[in-house]
Amino acid sequence: MTTATRTYADLITEQLYIGGWREGTSETTTTTTNPFNNDTIATIRQASKEDVDTAYEIAQEAQIGWAALPPKKRAAILTKAADWIEDNRAAVVELIRVESGSTAIKANIETSLAIGSLREAATFPTRITGQILPSNTPGKANYVFREALGVVGVISPWNFPFALSMRSVAPALGCGNAVVLKPASDTPIVGGLLLGTIFEAAGLPEGVLNIVVGAGSEIGDHFVEHAVPRLISFTGSTPVGKGVGRVAVGGEHMKKVSLELGGNAPLVVLDDADMEQAVGAATMGKFLHQGQICMAVNRIIVQAEVYDEFVAAFTARVQTLAYGDQLDDATVVGPVINDSQLHSVTEKIERARAEGAREVVSGPVEGRVIAPHVFADVTPEMELFREEIFGPVVGIIRAEDEAHALTLANDTEFGLSSAVYTRDLQRGLNFARQIEAGMSHVNDITVNDEAHVMFGGEKNSGLGRFNGEWAIEEFTTTHWVGVAPGQAQFPF
């Protein structure tokens, strides 16, 4: 079969990828389904603890040869992986849509992000540099080598499974590491096994990437506390991420952690904002992928002078959004990922009503499809203000003035992404720099990710940074090698 005729069904596999394709040995299976209609996509025999052990052992052995390859050979494999996705883009996009409930625009964005991560990581093998530093010992040279960590364990989420798996896997490989990947149980194919197909086709040596599909309750802690991985890269919720951090750092085998966790992103509309632009940004930033994005607009904070105007314009815009089957190209808001997420979001809607927020946009809940909901006059005491929503629901908050807007923006335990709208760019820059977040955008949406620019949060939104030079630092370690002439006189 040529790449020109490959369909998304051709990318589906029911085997794990541990030194090649093989059956899992757990007594349990997982069935992945289309979240809109429950159609079965695949049934996979899950990984046992023994499978995790095998994956790490194979990765540890394969990593030595991988790191020893000339940089251009490692770069060529990463480039081939990106080219493979480009050649099979339609099939990849369709598989993302089917398994993760993604609309056409979201699946295409996600595919482009994954390609970007690969192409950026393909430059890493020749960008890793060390230092030569002077010494106080005559004749001695101090070399600081930057080297691969060894084996990296990656735990990826279900919301942007393909892109967020690739965001850790690609740079880890580019820096000379081997990887064991554990995708989310809701998206084991696009977040995991699909990467096996891609890297196998690209010529990655066997064992350098291994993929285990398994329940957190069975293999989660074992995956993190295992002796082999030197770093655990986790993307997911803050409560689970805190648990990963405790096990990784506080266990018998201490290791580095890179944690990209939850958010409560504010989009601030100041009194001189371009209203049409601000409304457009709030709409896309909130409702892309049903709001199931860590960077999604979670709170809209509007200065009092333009509050009523914004509420009216935003309400009118949101009411035009089509919702339903994600495989319909007209759909903007598709299904949430599973019943647990459905219950969580609908509870937040009921809580907002009970707490007295003014409901200005509402709609039905049909299966796992929640129509967009907008609440005005939200206050800091309400759940919509304090918690990450992760669904197609948003609250609008009135700010008395610019200073109050900044106070509201920072009134959260999270600090991932943020945005501010104003026609005065210097005012926007000054405001953005005072937001307690890892990422702030002036006159743009909160949902932003570029493979060469740092990505990460402050406070309870995580530890570490992804992308570009920051990823190189995360996925490597430094080694001081001092070389003396051997003529020192020691007193004893």
pLDDT single digits (tens) 62-108 = 999 999 999 999 999 999 999 999 999 999 999 999 999 999 999 99
Helix, strand, coil abundance in the chain, percent, nearest 5? 40, 20, 35
Active-site hit among 260, 276, 450, 469:
260
- Which residue, among 203, 235, 162, 168, has the nearest Cα to 78 in the 3D structure? 203
Question: How much is the pLDDT for 447?
Answer: 97
Mean pLDDT of the chain: 97
pLDDT single digits (tens) 274-292 = 999 999 999 999 999 999 9
* pLDDT interval class at 4 (50, 70, 90): low
pLDDT single digits (tens) 441-486 = 999 999 999 999 999 999 999 999 999 999 999 999 999 999 999 9
Proportion of the chain above pLDDT 90, given as a percent:
97
* pLDDT interval class at 2 (50, 70, 90): very low
Question: How much is the pLDDT for 208?
Answer: 98
**What is the CATH architecture of 3-261+461-480?**
3-Layer(aba) Sandwich (3.40)
Determine the 3-state secondary structure of 475 from DSSP.
Answer: coil
Question: How much is the pLDDT for 86?
Answer: 97
Whether 260 sits among the annotated catalytic residues: the reply is yes
* pLDDT interval class at 488 (50, 70, 90): confident
**What is the CATH architecture of 265-442?**
3-Layer(aba) Sandwich (3.40)
Question: How much is the pLDDT for 3?
Answer: 46
Determine the 3-state secondary structure of 487 from DSSP.
Answer: coil
- Which residue, among 31, 256, 38, 273, has the nearest Cα to 150 in the 3D structure? 256
Instruction: Give the separation between CA 46 and CA 455, rounded to whole angstroms.
Output: 32
pLDDT single digits (tens) 34-67 = 999 999 999 999 999 999 999 999 999 999 999 9
Q: What is the pTM of this model?
A: 0.95
- Which residue, among 24, 44, 16, 184, has the nearest Cα to 100 in the 3D structure? 184
pLDDT single digits (tens) 319-357 = 999 999 999 999 999 999 999 999 999 999 999 999 999
Domain extent listing, the chain? 3-261+461-480, 265-442
Backbone angles phi, psi at 113, to 5 degrees: -65, -40
Question: How much is the pLDDT for 6?
Answer: 86
Has residue 1 got a pLDDT over 60?
A: no
Has residue 204 got a pLDDT over 80?
A: yes
pLDDT single digits (tens) 376-435 = 999 999 999 999 999 999 999 999 999 999 999 999 999 999 999 999 999 999 999 999
